[in-house]
Amino acid sequence: MIYDASLDELLQKVWDGQRINAAEAKRLYALPLEELGALADRRRQLAKAKDFNGRGNEIVTFNIDRNINYTNVCNVYCKFCAFYRVEKDDDSYVLTLTELDKKIEETVALGGNQMLMQGGHHPKLTKQWYLDLLSHVKNKFPQFNIHGFSPSEFIHFRDVFNEPLEKIIGDFKAAGLGSIPGGGGEILVDRVRQRIAPLKAMSDDWLAVMDVAHQLGLYSSATMMFGHVETVEERIEHLERLRAQQDISLNRKKENPQMGNFTAFIAWTFQAEHTKLRAPTVGAHEYLRMQALSRIYLDNFANVQSSWVTQGLEIGQVALKYGANDLGSIMIEENVVSQAGTTFRMTVGDMQRLIKDLGYEPHQRDNWYQLVN
């Protein structure tokens, strides 16, 4: 084997916590998985060292929330989605407020503090319908966070309501919206998006929603759904675009602490069953590799969340040694991934056991990564 001084320099650069570029990320991607994982674990330690009064590296967090899909009616027909229906389908639905209240009450009874609320791009629901829903929940459950509406939904709202994003997101926030999930990120490269979801928001639109939301003081998460038609280079481009947006948001936040930013990054692999997208899926090895690379590349993200929902409990636990510091939610309800054939389940006891078995302290958190109790 020929000694490569430049690789040693790159590994030291990563170990020291310095920023890497796309070409360097491609080199790291080719490392043995265990070596890449060790580097990601080091970057997790650097990112969390000052959190929770200096105990960030002893603590792994989790959340108790419920994934509520207010409608499955959608007119963008994503090839990777097995969840959507059209209005004429017998199993299409729009939740009533009574049904929504019941789901929230069940979540609160289990110690939950928020709902992750997303839905299809329903062509007929009005803006007032959404505002009434938000106001209803906020008035009835004032301490319950509404983590709702992905960027692609807001682009749909912009086009249907014929209003600018600033107006729509501002009105939703005033009605009770607390934060925005990073759903619909897929791969932030338009070549890929044109192939898997040509009617959905393109990359610039997705990022524009997050930029406006952060300026309006809302926090959001960021995601990546990979392992379908994209290349490794396009995955890295996705990470670059997220990192660049986070730089913008954090720089603004220095001037005005009331502004928001990305709280966390979550990656998962494409789940193929019952979908129209014909693409070879990838397994746990590739998932851990990309999560590790993401932790290293996204040097301005404090939190990386393990995706046990798609990978299973054991790989979800292993991911905590590959850059993740959070095990996500127990996911009281999940409808989208399960429609594509993946149905893992987790209890609070499972969460605590998986975290303790690795020598960490399990702590429940809220959406802003503050510890509960």
Question: How high is the pLDDT of residue 74?
Answer: 76
H helical segments located in 162-202: 165-175, 190-196
Question: What does the alpha-carbon distance between residue 180 and residue 166 come to, in Å, rounded to a whole number?
Answer: 14
Phi first, then psi, for residue 53 (nearest 5°) are: 55, 40
Question: How high is the pLDDT of residue 198?
Answer: 85
**Ranges in the chain, pLDDT < 50:** 1, 80, 274-275, 334-344
Q: Which residues are CB-contacts of 286 (< 8 A; sequence separation ≥ 6)?
A: 227, 269
Tokens 């360097």 found at:
24
Per-residue pLDDT tens digits for 81-137: 555 566 666 667 788 999 999 999 998 998 899 999 988 777 778 999 999 999 999
Q: Which residues are CB-contacts of 280 (< 8 A; sequence separation ≥ 6)?
A: none
Q: Are 184 and 140 in contact (CB under 8 A)?
A: no
Report which of 365, 369, 334 is spatially closest to residue 348, judged by C-alpha positions: 365
Copy the structure tokens of residue 275.
């979908």
* CA-to-CA dists, residue 55 to 21, 47, 285, 327, 360, angstroms: 30, 12, 30, 17, 10
Three-point CA angle 191, 196, 199, nearest 5°: 90
Question: What does the alpha-carbon distance between residue 47 and residue 17 come to, in Å, rounded to a whole number?
Answer: 9
Domain ranges in the chain are 22-364
Phi first, then psi, for residue 139 (nearest 5°) are: -70, -35
Question: How high is the pLDDT of residue 271?
Answer: 65
Residue range 22-364, CATH number = 3.20.20.70
Copy the structure tokens of residue 307.
């995706």
Instruction: Print burial letters for 179-216: b (CB count within 10 Å at least 16), e (below 16).
Output: bbbbbbbbbbbeebbebbbeebbbbebbbbbbbbbbbb
- The H-or-E segment that residue 264 falls in is strand 262-269
